């Protein structure tokens, strides 16, 4: 099925896929595969997906900015210290700071202050860093281990596949949150690294499933059969035919998986089982603001909306890329 | 069919063994000494007393031996006793399960009740305004985590308009009215995202069904659209919906944890969190294994049901 409204993408797709089976052509030579650049991809998105992408971009840049501010510039960038209590005692001046807890929005505090008079805008950005970290680490671990394993067993078939998938099914037999709670209770100190690693390892099974299913489908395609027929080594087939075709599907899945992972981290944080305070995480913020839910509902709304918008955007953009990947492979 | 059944049974047992072993090993490596959970701080402690406690709890034996002994007990319905409260774990589960199961079943019921009309409408008006609006609504519903929704519901319906109390629980035996008032908000919090999943699934299956010849012939006979949708098309379109709903019952036994915590409901999940807090090994492994077993058994049952209903799957 080719996209009739945009014949150009269809032809570049075709070239790319044909080229994938031959030795890598010299870049810039006629007939070389031309990957769509980021701007081109952005341009081809419908308006809602564009908005979602912009929101995700904002979250990612905000998170990186907040992290840089603390770890590289030592708080010199214009962003408040997320742990600073604006009504606390200031040792430098010998006086109490003149902030208040639960302040409304103002020029000093874009999104007001929380129960402990800390700047909410800054805490949202720092919370975004936690969400970003778990998303990226789960994608890296999921694709790196689960994706590779799934592609491999989907290509090899036989007993290895049966055994691997039985093991995967066993892990998936645990309800995820219960398993995570049971595992997390093993650790007394919960650093961001630990949370990222745990959530990352728990995402391996689903990535393995997706990768295996895709790899199975790709393995039956003509170009793989052709490569086998001309005696290409299995290792080379896996690296040059299977993986390049499984990867785009996994990347699209990673966006949808990131949405799940952000909610899981949020749930843990909400239960007080994620990164310890004063580190801010959206789940922690919602839980802390819940105590003053009657007086200052706004402080519950802010981190909630940050989480909902992010999850919604990840789902939309992920779905869009998944459809795009499916469309590309059906153009084969 | 008999062969498939036997195969599924073997797989089920293997999975249950693996699940119980994994849980046992995990819990065995919990930090902290279970002896601390048993002996009050005030009590006199000598190495002899501690050793006696250890021997009583079989903690002096190797992990594998303990696993086999524990599994033997589990098979006889004995999940051990809480180190802290001395209550048998099986009794705790019997006590707590009704609350969790009620939430699971009610939320699935509510989700289906909302999802069926939405899914059918979306398929019927495919691509038109009602479909686009409901699809957009479904996308938003999918993005709202249940704990966020729970907090919002408490603000609106327990504080602003105090019709549904939060933070208390009445058993069904105390009267159905008070029980439902307690259960309503948690049920809604759990139902929203399920509703979204269900209606999306039903819509896409129904779109395919509506392309079938029997629908065209029903239309040719002059039957009303409503009759065709609900009498002819709904049933063949609802197979995967029923499957997911079934699987969700198992998944929710563990999935209600956070909502139980928010509404302070005396369910399984909240007991599990409390046990994790004090390192009560027996309760943690008992509840975890119970939930995992229930999940696996329900999944297998759903698979088998699927085979019975749809002969095409039996061969695959």
pLDDT of residue B34: 64
**Mean pLDDT of the residues in chain B:** 84
Please report the number of interchain residue pairs, chain A to chain B, with beta-carbon separation below 8 angstroms: 113
Mean of pLDDT values over A3-17: 37
Choose from A169, A182, A274, A306 for mutation: most chain B CBs within 10 A.
A182
Q: Which residues of A touch B269 (CB under 8 A)?
A: 178
Query: pTM of the full predicted structure?
Result: 0.84
Closest CA to A65 of A10, A126, A135: A126
Does A193 or B278 have the greater pLDDT score? A193
pLDDT of residue A206: 92
A89-90 and A95-96 as β-strands: parallel, antiparallel, unpaired?
antiparallel
pLDDT at B140 over 60: yes
Mean of pLDDT values over A77-85: 76
Choose from A51, A185, A303 for mutation: most chain B CBs within 10 A.
A185
CA–CA dist B256, A316 (Å, integer)? 26
pLDDT of residue B42: 62
Would you call B253 and A175 a contact, using CB atoms and an 8 Å cutoff? yes
pLDDT of residue A305: 94
Q: Binning pLDDT at 50, 70 and 90, where does residue A28 land?
A: very low
pLDDT at A220 over 90: no
List residues in chain A touching B: CB distance below 8 A: 166, 169-170, 173-179, 181-183, 185-188, 259, 263, 266-267, 270-271, 283, 286, 290, 293-294, 297, 300, 304, 307-309, 311-312, 315-316
| Length of chain B counted residue by residue | 316
Q: Binning pLDDT at 50, 70 and 90, where does residue A5 land?
A: very low
Query: Do the Cβ atoms of A63 and A129 come closer than 8 Å?
Result: yes
Q: What confidence tens digit (pLDDT) does each residue in B225-270 have?
A: 888 898 888 888 888 888 888 888 888 888 888 899 899 899 998 9
pLDDT of residue B38: 65
pLDDT at B117 over 90: yes
CA–CA dist B136, A282 (Å, integer)? 25
pLDDT at A141 over 80: yes
Q: What confidence tens digit (pLDDT) does each residue in B253-265 have?
A: 888 888 998 998 9
Q: Binning pLDDT at 50, 70 and 90, where does residue B134 land?
A: very high
Q: Residue A39 burial by CB count (10 A; 0-12/13-18/19+): exposed, middle or buried? A: exposed
Does A17 or A139 have the greater pLDDT score? A139
Q: What confidence tens digit (pLDDT) does each residue in A145-178 have?
A: 999 999 999 999 889 988 898 888 878 877 777 7
| Angle ∠(A96,A97,A102) on CA atoms, nearest 5 | 120
pLDDT at A8 over 70: no
Closest CA to A262 of A59, A51, A42, A45: A59
Task: Find the residue in A nearest to B268 (Cα).
Answer: A178
CA–CA dist A270, B105 (Å, integer)? 25
pLDDT at A130 over 90: yes
pLDDT at A25 over 50: no
pLDDT of residue A263: 92
Q: Binning pLDDT at 50, 70 and 90, where does residue B16 land?
A: confident
Query: Which of A185, A300, A307 is opposite residue B276, by nearest beta carbon?
Result: A185
Q: Residue A102 burial by CB count (10 A; 0-12/13-18/19+): exposed, middle or buried? A: middle
Mean of pLDDT values over B159-185: 81
Q: Which two three-digit tokens encode residue A16? A: 């790319």
> Distance (Å) from the C-alpha of residue B143 to the closest C-alpha of chain A?
5
**Mean pLDDT of the residues in chain A:** 82
Q: Which residues of A touch B11 (CB under 8 A)?
A: 166
CA–CA dist A80, A147 (Å, integer)? 40
Question: How far is residue A274 CA from its own chain's centroid?
Answer: 17
Mean of pLDDT values over A117-123: 84
CA B128 to each of CA A148, A185, B202: distance values in angstroms, whole numbers, following the listed order:
42, 50, 17
Question: How far is residue A46 CA from its own chain's centroid?
Answer: 21
CA–CA dist A254, A261 (Å, integer)? 10
CA–CA dist A282, B293 (Å, integer)? 33
In this structure, what are the phi and psi dihedrals at residue B207, rounded to the nearest 5 degrees? -55, -40
Choose from A174, A206, A272, A284 for mutation: most chain B CBs within 10 A.
A174
The b/e string for A271-283 (b: 16+ C-beta within 10 A; e otherwise) is bbbbbeeebbbbb
Q: Which residues of A touch B291 (CB under 8 A)?
A: 175, 178
Q: Which residue has the tokens 């601390």?
A: B36
Q: What confidence tens digit (pLDDT) does each residue in A34-71 have?
A: 677 888 888 888 898 999 999 999 999 999 999 888 88
> Distance (Å) from the C-alpha of residue B282 to the closest C-alpha of chain A?
12
Query: Which residues are within 8 A (CB) of B210 and not within 5 positions of it... i.e. 6 or more apart?
Result: B123, B124, B126, B233
Beta partners for residue A95, in sequence order: A90
Would you call A188 and B31 a contact, using CB atoms and an 8 Å cutoff? yes
> Distance (Å) from the C-alpha of residue B235 to the closest C-alpha of chain A?
28
CA–CA dist A282, A305 (Å, integer)? 10
> Distance (Å) from the C-alpha of residue B255 to the closest C-alpha of chain A?
7
Question: How far is residue B288 CA from its own chain's centroid?
Answer: 12
Does B97 or A75 have the greater pLDDT score? B97
Q: Which residues of A touch B295 (CB under 8 A)?
A: 173-175
Closest CA to B291 of B132, B124, B89: B89
pLDDT at A199 over 50: yes
| Length of chain A counted residue by residue | 332
Mean of pLDDT values over A248-255: 90
Mean of pLDDT values over B66-88: 84
Does A319 or A328 have the greater pLDDT score? A319
pLDDT of residue B161: 84
Share of chain B above pLDDT 90, in %: 27
Centre a 10 Å sphere on the Cβ of residue B69 and count the other Cβ atoms it contains. 12
Which H or E run contains A95?
A: strand A95-96
Q: What confidence tens digit (pLDDT) does each residue in A266-294 have?
A: 998 998 888 888 888 999 999 988 888 88
Q: What confidence tens digit (pLDDT) does each residue in A303-316 have?
A: 999 999 999 999 99
Q: Which two three-digit tokens encode residue B73? A: 């007990």
């Amino acid at each position: 099925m080719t996209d009739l409204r945009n014949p150009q993408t269809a032809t570049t797709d075709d070239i790319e896929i044909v080229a994938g089976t031959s030795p890598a052509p010299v870049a810039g030579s006629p007939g070389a595969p031309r990957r769509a650049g980021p701007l081109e991809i952005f341009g081809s998105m419908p308006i809602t997906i564009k908005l979602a992408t912009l929101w995700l971009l904002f979250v990612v840049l905000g998170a990186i900015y907040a992290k840089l501010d603390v770890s590289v510039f030592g708080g010199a960038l214009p962003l408040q210290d997320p742990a600073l209590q604006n009504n606390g005692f200031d040792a430098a001046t010998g006086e109490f700071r003149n902030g208040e807890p639960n302040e409304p929005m103002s020029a000093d505090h874009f999104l007001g202050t929380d129960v402990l008079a800390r700047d909410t805008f800054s805490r949202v950005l720092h919370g975004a860093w936690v969400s970003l970290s778990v998303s990226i680490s789960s994608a890296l671990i999921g694709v790196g281990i689960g994706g590779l394993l799934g592609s491999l067993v989907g290509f090899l078939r036989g007993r290895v596949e049966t055994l691997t998938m039985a093991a995967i099914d066993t892990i998936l037999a645990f309800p995820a949150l219960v398993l995570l709670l049971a595992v997390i209770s093993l650790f007394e100190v919960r650093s961001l690294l630990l949370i990222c690693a745990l959530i990352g390892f728990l995402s391996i099974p689903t990535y393995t499933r997706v990768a295996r299913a895709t790899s199975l489908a790709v393995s039956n395609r003509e170009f793989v059969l052709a490569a086998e027929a001309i005696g290409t080594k299995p290792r080379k087939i896996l690296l040059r035919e299977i993986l390049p075709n499984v990867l785009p599907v996994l990347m699209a899945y990673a966006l949808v998986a990131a949405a799940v992972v952000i909610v899981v981290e949020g749930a843990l944080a909400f239960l007080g089982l994620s990164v310890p305070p004063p580190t801010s995480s959206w789940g922690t913020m919602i839980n802390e603001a819940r105590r003053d839910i009657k007086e200052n509902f706004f402080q519950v709304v802010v981190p909630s909306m940050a989480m909902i918008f992010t999850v919604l955007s990840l789902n939309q953009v992920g779905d869009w890329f998944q459809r795009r990947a499916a469309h590309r492979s059906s153009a084969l | 069919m008999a062969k498939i059944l036997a195969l599924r049974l073997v797989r089920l047992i293997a999975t249950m063994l693996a699940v119980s072993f994994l849980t046992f090993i995990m819990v065995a490596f919990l930090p902290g000494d279970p002896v601390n959970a048993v002996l009050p701080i005030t009590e006199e402690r000598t190495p002899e007393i501690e050793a006696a406690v250890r021997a009583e709890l079989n903690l002096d034996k190797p992990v594998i031996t303990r696993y086999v002994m524990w599994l033997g007990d589990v098979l006889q319905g004995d999940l051990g006793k809480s180190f802290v409260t001395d209550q048998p774990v099986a009794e705790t589960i019997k006590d707590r399960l009704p609350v969790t199961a009620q939430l699971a079943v009610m939320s699935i019921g509510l989700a289906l009740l909302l999802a069926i009309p939405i899914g059918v409408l979306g398929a019927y008006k495919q691509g038109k305004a009602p479909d686009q609006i409901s699809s957009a609504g479904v996308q938003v519903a999918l993005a709202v985590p249940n704990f966020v929704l729970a907090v919002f519901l408490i603000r609106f319906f327990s504080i602003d308009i105090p019709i549904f109390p939060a933070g208390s629980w009445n058993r069904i035996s105390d009267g159905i009215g008070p029980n439902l008032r307690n259960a309503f908000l948690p049920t809604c919090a759990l139902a929203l995202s399920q509703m979204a999943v269900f209606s999306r699934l039903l819509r896409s299956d129904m779109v395919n069904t509506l392309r079938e010849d029997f629908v065209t012939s029903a239309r040719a006979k002059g039957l009303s659209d409503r009759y065709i949708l609900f009498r002819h098309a709904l049933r063949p379109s609802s197979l995967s919906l029923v499957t997911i709903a079934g699987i969700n019952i198992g998944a929710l036994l563990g999935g209600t944890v956070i909502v139980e915590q928010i509404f302070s409901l005396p369910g399984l999940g909240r007991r599990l969190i409390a046990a994790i807090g004090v390192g009560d090994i027996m309760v943690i492994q008992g509840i975890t294994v119970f939930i995992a077993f229930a999940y696996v058994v329900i999944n297998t049952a759903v698979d088998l049901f699927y085979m019975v209903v749809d002969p095409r799957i039996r061969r695959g």
